[in-house]
Amino acid sequence: MDVSTTKKNISAILIVSALGYFVDIYDLILFSIVRITSLKSLGFSGHELFDYGVLLINMQMGGMLIGGIIWGILGDKKGRISVLFGSIFLYSIANITNGFVTDLPQYAVLRFIAGVGLAGELGAGITLVSEVMPKETRGYGTMTVATVGIFGAVVAALVGDFFDWRTAYFIGGGMGIALLILRIGVYESGMYSAIKKSDVLKGGFHKLFINKNNLIKYLHCIAVGLPIWYIVGVLITFSPEFAKAFGLNVEIQAGTAVMYCYIGLAVGDLLSGALSQFFKSRKKIIGLFIILEAVFIIVYLFLNKFDSTFFYSLCLMLGVSGGYWAVFVTNAAEQFGVNIRATVTTTVPNFVRGAVVPATFLFQYLTPGIGIVYSALFVGFVTVIIAFISMTKLQETFGKDLNYIEEH
């Protein structure tokens, strides 16, 4: 492939990956925005809105956990491109169907299926971008994918405000189908193509658990991202309940909180990506942002007693502090060889998202005894401490040559 074709392929991969992640995030976060209105429409009220909200988000995240493993293995066995488009198709169909639900069991099943679909796009996109871009600048590529994608949540918040919740699901699914119809030519990465027909073991997920060093490294890759989805899955998703606990006399809208948080995440991704390139380090930047998360978790939980403007401003800052998602996923991609990279890069962010399930269960279990604020504080600091310790154990991967095979 000549230089001009390579540049065209890089641009095409960046565009498709970024737009795919945009739709991915829209659909992923939409439930947090329409949770209350959709459940009320189905006839639920009072504490059911909280309890069934936890159930549904856990079904979605559980689907992502399982889907991450399936898509990751397929990404290494069948190719990154097939996963990129296959996942977009599945979550688009699931979300269109979600607009027709009439009861809780249907809602739960479709959030699970949507979660399975949502699990594949980011890992496939980041793996492709990491493998086709020059090693010195690939951080800018993954930063672009994450930053563009995160604005899908902003659009989801706006759509959730101006349209019925069923229509909001139709719009998300429709955008995904449109992306598949309008997709431009994208070629498989050269690194993967070189091993595709070889006898090298590809996608051996179970091998991660046999090789002790790889297992430890893999678990550290997951752990550094835990606070990001604690912020989104607990502090932001249940922001109306937190506002009541803080004694605010104004109504806080979950959709608006999500919008401000994701604007902050987009800013944070731009900032963390640029800083990781400037300082030539993934570890230092991840560590910096974990510290910022700890600070703003405390501020959100204990100093958030003024008005809606201050509340939403803290949602924004929580987003900024959690905005190292691109660096986090890039780091995971850079830690492992070509033959297992898609498996790792797809499963790692989905295990982080899936960690919302035990986090929300623990949060829900502790709340009756110690209250919503201290329950959130306990869960938050467990994730922060684990993340910071894991960050110190990881290898620095900036500028690492990724064209190698992982020995099992």
Is pLDDT at 4 greater than 50 in this prediction? no
pLDDT at 404 over 80: no
Per the model's pLDDT, the better-predicted residue between 137 and 391 turns out to be 391
Confidence of residue 5 (pLDDT cuts 50, 70, 90): very low
User: Of 131, 222, 129, 137, whose CA–CA distance to 398 is shortest?
Assistant: 137
Q: How far apart are CA 398 and CA 148, in angstroms?
A: 22
Fold of 3-182+206-393: Growth Hormone; Chain: A; (1.20.1250)
Token digits for 117? 């679909």
Residue of 360, 347, 353 lying closest to 67 (CA atoms): 347
pLDDT at position 2: 40
Residue 180 contacts residue 55 (beta carbons within 8 Å): no
pLDDT band (50, 70, 90) for residue 408: low
pLDDT interval class at 185 (50, 70, 90) = low
**Residue 384 confidence (pLDDT):** 97
On whether the CB atoms of residues 163 and 255 are closer than 8 A, the answer is no
The pLDDT of 44-64, averaged and rounded, is: 87
Mean pLDDT of 345-368: 88
Mean pLDDT in residue range 223-236: 93
pLDDT above 70 as % of the chain: 95
CA dihedral for 278, 279, 281, 287, sign (positive or negative): negative
> CA 66, CA 59: separation in Å to the nearest integer?
11
Spacing of C-alpha 4 from chain mean position: 32
Q: What's the whole-number mean pLDDT along residues 115-135?
A: 87
Q: Which residue has the higher pLDDT, 183 or 219?
A: 219
Q: Can you give the three-state secondary structure of the chain, one letter per residue?
A: CCHHHHHHHHHHHHHHHHHHHHHHHHHHHHHHHHHHHHHHHCCCCCCHHHHHHHHHHHHHHHHHHHHHHHHHHHHHHCCHHHHHHHHHHHHHHHHHHHCCCCCHHHHHHHHHHHHHHHCCHHHHHHHHHHHHCCCCCHHHHHHHHHHHHHHHHHHHHHHHHHCCHHHHHHHHHHHHHHHHHHCCCCCCCHHHHHHHCCCCCCCCHHHHHCCHHHHHHHHHHHHCCHHHHHHHHHHHCCHHHHHHHCCCCCCCCHHHHHHHHHHHHHHHHHHHHHHHHHCCCCHHHHHHHHHHHHHHHHHHHHCCCCCHHHHHHHHHHHHHHCCCHHHHHHHHHHHCCHHHHHHHHHHHHHHHHHCHHHHHHHHHHHHHHHHHHHHHHHHHHHHHHHHHHHHHHCCCCCCCCCCCCCCC
Burial 242-260 (b: 16+ CB within 10 A, else e): bbebbebeeebbbbbbbbb
Longest dimension (CA), the chain: 65
pLDDT score of 184: 62
pLDDT band at 203 (very low <50, low <70, confident <90, very high): low
* φ, ψ at 278 (rounded to 5°): -65, -45
| Arithmetic mean of pLDDT, 217-243 | 92
- Please report the pLDDT score of residue 199 as a whole number: 67
Whole-prediction pTM value? 0.82
pLDDT in tens, 390-403: 999 999 988 888 88
Q: Exposed/middle/buried for 104, CB within 10 Å: 0-12, 13-18, 19+?
A: middle
Question: Can you say whether the dihedral through the CA atoms of 14, 17, 18, 19 is positive or negative?
Answer: positive
pLDDT single digits (tens) 167-177: 999 999 999 99
Instruction: Tell me what the mean pLDDT of segment 241-261 comes to.
Output: 88
Q: What is the crossing angle of helices 254-278 and 308-321, to 10°?
A: 40
Return the pLDDT at 1: 42
Amino acid 282: pLDDT: 92
pLDDT per residue as tens digits for the range 259-287: 899 889 989 999 999 999 999 999 999 99
Distance of CA 58 to the CA centre of its chain: 14
Structure tokens at 44: 């639920």
Q: What is the mean pLDDT of residues 52-76?
A: 87
Q: Torsions phi, psi of 45, nearest 5?
A: -160, 175
pLDDT at 355 over 90: no
Q: Please give the Cα distance from 343 to 10 (Å, whole number).
A: 21
Least confident of 100-104, 193-197, 222-226, 281-285: 193-197
Q: If we measure between CA atoms, which residue out of 344, 352, 406, 349 comes closest to residue 73?
A: 344
Q: Tokens at residue 156, please? A: 């989801």
Residues 168, 173, 174, 175, CA torsion sign: positive
**Domain locations in the chain?**
3-182+206-393
